[in-house]
Structure 1
């Protein structure tokens, strides 16, 4: 798969802007609705967002550092790496979301959460939009980032951006399901 770099970044910006709009909607909801669980072992909306915030706390600084230190020039076309493409594609929501195990440190279940989680999420989405803008000025293939589960694996920045934003998309789809069940 090859994609125009500008097209990829535009798609990721569009998705991130939708997440920002969802955050605004969540801020209008009462706390009991944001803490509602479909079942005892499922996540609430706030737990979904807290999970995303925890990943954002790793990836946003990592992406920012790599963009700031990159000396490369942008390429017109982005070609995903094999592993990066696999990770990114596995995050895309499907009709019936397949459950995935999450690392214990990234699992917020039964945390005491409030709307500060939504504000943090919105702030992270704003930071992602800024990083996506900056990413258009460097090579998304030559610039590499670490991943949260292994310090020995590096992905192309384009794949990391896809992974992070598709992961957000996956859990935002989960929040929509929670709202339907409320």
Structure 2
């Protein structure tokens, strides 16, 4: 995949802003709604966001650190995705009928006692993401690499990491929207 960097960052910014707007709307819901699950083994709205908060705790500091330490200034107008990064990012995009994926046990929040602080943390993390998208404009999104949460052996281009994390957020925000619409 090849895309103009400004276009990519703008698209990711819009997705993130929409996620913030949705999360803010959840602050007006009651706890029964936020903790409702369609079945015993499905996630509630708060569990969807808690799952994203778990990954945000890894990726936001990782992205910020890599941007700060990057020795590669932005010089190109295009971003060319890596093979693995593009695969991971596209895998996260929500489909018409949300395809189920196995979640690592450590990042599975099912049946945790959660409250609206989960929403507040999610909003704070998404605001941090917007800040990082802005900061990323001055570094090379291809040469600057980040670690991934599941392996210390694999590094992705910063642009692919942004895509992966934000598409993953989008996926679970859509899941939470579906839960809310089916109550």
Question: TM-score normalised to the size of structure 2?
Answer: 0.99
* Matching residue of 2:182: 181
Query: In structure 1, how many angstroms separate the alpha carbons of the residues matched to 2:2 and 2:156?
Result: 16
* Matching residue of 1:41: 41
How much does 1:71 deviate?
A: 1.9
* Matching residue of 2:153: 152
* Aligned ranges 1:1-150 → 2 under 5 Å: 1-74=1-74, 75-150=76-151
Query: In structure 2, how many angstroms separate the alpha carbons of the residues matched to 1:166 and 1:70?
Result: 24
Spell out, residue by residue over 1:74-131, the C-alpha distance to the aligned partner (whole angstroms, 9 max, x if none).
Answer: 1210000000000000000000111100111100000000000000000000000000
Query: In structure 2, how many angstroms separate the alpha carbons of the residues matched to 1:133 and 1:146?
Result: 20
Query: In structure 1, how many angstroms separate the alpha carbons of the residues matched to 2:144 and 2:54?
Result: 23
| Count of residue correspondences | 182
- Quote the RMSD (CA, aligned, Å): 0.5
Query: In structure 2, how many angstroms separate the alpha carbons of the residues matched to 1:127 and 1:72?
Result: 22
Spell out, residue by residue over 1:107-161, the C-alpha distance to the aligned partner (whole angstroms, 9 max, x if none).
Answer: 0000000000000000000000000000011000000000000000000000000
How much does 1:73 deviate?
A: 1.4
Gaps in structure 2 of 5+ consecutive residues: none
Query: In structure 2, how many angstroms separate the alpha carbons of the residues matched to 1:24 and 1:177?
Result: 16
How much does 1:163 deviate?
A: 0.1
What is the DSSP-based 3-state SS (H/G/I as helix, E as strand, rest coil) of the residue aligned with 1:130? helix
Query: In structure 1, how many angstroms separate the alpha carbons of the residues matched to 2:160 and 2:39?
Result: 34
Query: In structure 1, how many angstroms separate the alpha carbons of the residues matched to 2:26 and 2:177?
Result: 11
Query: In structure 2, how many angstroms separate the alpha carbons of the residues matched to 1:175 and 1:47?
Result: 9
Runs of 4+ that moved beyond 2 A: none
Question: TM-score normalised to the size of structure 1?
Answer: 0.99
